[in-house]
Structure 1
């Protein structure tokens, strides 16, 4: 994931490289934001403790992450997914 992100920035920021990515590469890059979003929430929600085994985080984390996963599958813009998930998490955590 880091290689894809770095290569993406390097290729498009260097003006000396006069290349346009292929359609297949553009499709591949279109999934990178969703992969990064999943890489952020998955370890928070799905916790592994060597002594206790596999655990889920609290209900507020699980609900907000589940909504984030569903919205990601629906291919909503990443910023919208993040804002909705943060709002839901804050509502559950601090108001209920």
Structure 2
């Protein structure tokens, strides 16, 4: 299993739009990418325009399949209109003990 943190800063006035789009994308993923285990949206306490999307995937391959998909590219293109700066993500892999 892997965990991915996706970090975004949203343009002022687009916070609710970003939150609604997150819900739409998660619903799509749940129906089309069975490797997605869960996705949660967090808002920064100190900077309410900064968000973290935390996801869990069954494998790195499933996540890579998603980020190379047409749907992902469409979301990225749409996001350019409401995101400030360049978003980034970090991938962590679970260590089995």
The answer, yes or no, to whether TM exceeds 0.5 is no
In our comparison, the structure showing a higher alpha carbon Rg is 1
Question: Normalization by structure 2: what TM-score?
Answer: 0.29
Question: Normalization by structure 1: what TM-score?
Answer: 0.29
Structure with greater contact order relative to length (CA < 8 Å, sep ≥ 6): 2
Q: More helix by proportion, 1 or 2?
A: 1
